[in-house]
Structure 1
């Protein structure tokens, strides 16, 4: 169900990048590069019908990709 979907955030870390499931306190994956973290986050999101939210080094959102099923819609 959509309420159980954990969107995947690609976030900067002191040593590289991480994938963090929304609502989780621990990172799912650590990587050296943002590109690798994005790839891993997309794999997870595609399996779970979730979104990937990519953050810049300063923490602000850079991009968002949706892999939600067709019953969900995104504004704008």
Structure 2
């Protein structure tokens, strides 16, 4: 089974935590902070990326909790 990234997206009742490609939310939260907390826990457990969206639905950031295929390069010598 392929692990799906987790998205925190705006929802009519606040914020939703939803797996990529899923039709329904995994959980609903009244605040974005609570949704991000749940998403980070899921991301760490499943070793996948967590993608944060803004109220307009656009991606604001992401964090990888698994094997990142493109890890950041350290600029220090």
Task: Give the TM-score range, shorter chain.
Answer: 0.7 to 0.9
What are the residue-to-residue correspondences of 1:1-76 with 2, within 5 Å?
4-69=2-67, 72-74=68-70
- Cα distance in 1 for residues equivalent to 2:66 and 2:13: 30
Determine which structure has the larger helix proportion and give its number: 1
TM-score, structure 1 length as denominator? 0.87
Which structure 1 segments of 5+ residues have no match? none
Q: Where in structure 1 do 4 or more consecutive aligned residues deviate above 2 Å?
A: none
Gaps of 5+ in 2: 73-77
Q: Please, what is the CA RMSD of the aligned residues? A: 1.5
Query: How many aligned positions are there?
Result: 72
- Structure with higher Rg: it is 2
Aligned partners of 1:8 and 1:50: how far apart in 2? Answer: 7
